[in-house]
Structure 1
């Protein structure tokens, strides 16, 4: 049920998700430095096996009374469309935005996503219910969530390059540096429900987005020697707090005010938004940073990274402004 307990649960979910993401970054650095980068992929195998063995014992089975028909055309078209867009962004980073492979892939992705939209309008059990997307809280709540996931998770890419290519850190030291970011996101997750209770969901989302914007923009001031490490640590910590406030605000906004039978659809849509944002963020930042690099060496890398970080901050600010304009100011109700 909606209310403080649900908000607390969503906050804890966000905190756990962020701690997992951060643990992955740290563990990846440890494995790469001490063993090999291949272990960063292999480590997923025993983890997946453990989940398969433990999950059936700790999670109760639940099935709907009527098994819904799978929207195969929708699933295929949206998957291929997103893959084409991501491949096009990757090609833009490697070969330039004007390259044929980048433009053709991006165009194909747009066409496939339009096909997906057409399919969803006609099928009886759509993968993405367009009627639900017509609700302001769902549409703009998910838009805010897309921006939050796209921007902050993708910051790991330029900051990793900064630590290793500019400051000369090892993979282990770079991975450990992201622990501060993780602490910030966990703090934001566990305090989000209290913040929502005090100022409401929309204001929490906006405050979180503004915090993320300010401290992402602060990273543009990073210098080329290790004396600037403090700025990265402070900005990533406070930006992480803001990002998690925005994420929990998005989850509460996008999944509240629906009938019981629509809760699964709303939550599934929010989860899809998370995954799309995480998937697209790094290719976009990579393409921007690569296109902005002029020359070679650490100074060229730093210049490209600063442009990518500035674009990142601008995207967050755009999301904040859109949320301020189009989301209703609904204060969380006390129960």
Structure 2
């Protein structure tokens, strides 16, 4: 995740010895060359489409079942107290195993893990759609989460090693960021549509044809990418970081349900922190660490990922808060509430499309700051929302503009996170970035839910609105914190800095 100190980009990534790129681009795997493609070839376009389709599908999976949870509970006989495990079982595995699988992709082959993860995703989605009892559905969600943890960093590292540093990679990452953020919003809309028009089971089935299409085409256009010499896997580091992340994510998800003072929440979070400290100690001593301490010590890694964590935490939790506003205060149906976020999705697409040009003109640090300020201003503007539907204009305007700003931050974070590293470390870089994304998505909702609930006094729509405004104010303050950390701790430069 480190980035070059100078304005000039480094040597093209994805063309060094031992690195596979798309066949037909004129660059053979394992061949060092001095130049990289200046524009997208037809084969690179196909590679881009395949990888983006997979990433979009995975982003949709994060939210597609949210609207359908009550219907699934009634259909399969889920006790109300266990209903949250449909989401939690997925989030635990998706966030907890991402860093491990990102490194496995480096060691054993990114394409191999990418394709294998898609097979698991397709099969588990089919099983989930056919499930007749809660146990089978939860098992399917666990394997969907594991598949997401494998496919996301593997696909992202294939993306970064297939496109050289500079405008091409920035354009690819801009599209990837836009589609992933739009996918989270699309999941809410699509889940409502499928549940209302067909059945909740189609929220699972929709993955199967997409996975099959990518599996059929990808082997012919994406070549394997892995180092010539395979280092040993850091097993103690892998175990400690995976268990630590699982404990932290579990504690965060339970905090939204039981409160931050609950004994099991505190024990889980405490155990997670201890395990992550053990992981850091292990990484300082093993000869082939899962995450080299030198990499973690670079500014772009520490503070770039901090910016990404805040971006994902704030925007996804804001969707949750505004869903409550639309349904509990304004009385919208779940489907109507989901459709209202189409404007936010449009904003993220606009932001993702514009981000490469903004980064090329102003650099990643300024883009992080400008995007963060835009997101902060329009998140704070939501404090003006009232208790009737005449305020929808403000919600739509603020979510659109805030979505543009949020996506500028996300793309700048991803460019910073994957620039300046050797191809052999791209799985590590994308694994860290993906872990940041998924932990941010997972922790945002329980944090803001706890803030909103604590601030609600009395009953009725006015009490709900008061609690939501308090949480929105906290959300805006966290966004501003991200702007300040980027401004103070990141150096300037075209693509960030060490």
TM-score (norm 1): 0.90
Distance 1:74 1:292, change over 3 A: farther
- Tell me if 1:250 matches 2:382: no
CA contact (8 A) 2:327 2:333 kept: yes
Residue 155 of structure 1 aligns to a residue whose secondary structure is helix
**What does residue 77 of structure 1 align with?**
240
**What does residue 26 of structure 1 align with?**
189
More helix by share: 1
Summarize the alignment of residues 174-193 of structure 1 with structure 2, pairs less than 5 Å apart.
174-193=337-356
**What does residue 95 of structure 2 align with?**
none
Q: 1:279: Cα distance to partner?
A: 2.1
Length, aligned pairs only = 333
Deviation larger for 160-169 or 202-211? 160-169
Summarize the alignment of residues 38-57 of structure 1 with structure 2, pairs less than 5 Å apart.
39-41=202-204, 43-44=206-207, 47-57=210-220
Residue 468 of structure 2 aligns to a residue whose secondary structure is helix
Deviation larger for 223-232 or 11-20? 11-20
**What does residue 113 of structure 1 align with?**
276
Q: 1:187: Cα distance to partner?
A: 0.6
CA contact (8 A) 1:89 1:287 kept: no
Q: Per-residue CA shift, 1:121-162, capped at 9, x if unaligned? A: 223332322211111122211111111111112212111111
- Tell me if 1:138 matches 2:301: yes
**What does residue 87 of structure 1 align with?**
250
CA contact (8 A) 1:32 1:172 kept: no
**What does residue 267 of structure 2 align with?**
104
Query: Over aligned residue pairs, what C-alpha RMSD do you find?
Result: 2.3
Summarize the alignment of residues 92-241 of structure 1 with structure 2, pairs less than 5 Å apart.
92-241=255-404
Distance 1:162 1:37, change over 3 A: farther
Q: Per-residue CA shift, 1:46-68, capped at 9, x if unaligned? A: 55455445543553333322234
Distance 1:41 1:154, change over 3 A: farther
Structure 1 Cα separation of the partners of residues 352 and 425 of structure 2: 25
Deviation larger for 207-216 or 38-47? 38-47
Structure 2 Cα separation of the partners of residues 38 and 305 of structure 1: 32
Residue 64 of structure 1 aligns to a residue whose secondary structure is coil
Structure 2 Cα separation of the partners of residues 68 and 24 of structure 1: 39
CA contact (8 A) 1:71 1:123 kept: yes
Distance 1:156 1:226, change over 3 A: same
Deviation larger for 43-52 or 181-190? 43-52
Distance 1:321 1:255, change over 3 A: same
Deviation larger for 206-215 or 93-102? 93-102
TM-score (norm 2): 0.62
For structure 1, list consecutive stretches of 5 or more residues without a partner in the other structure. Answer: none
Structure 1 Cα separation of the partners of residues 212 and 173 of structure 2: 26
Q: 1:267: Cα distance to partner?
A: 2.9
CA contact (8 A) 2:178 2:352 kept: yes
- Tell me if 1:265 matches 2:443: no
- Tell me if 1:303 matches 2:485: no
CA contact (8 A) 1:93 1:288 kept: no
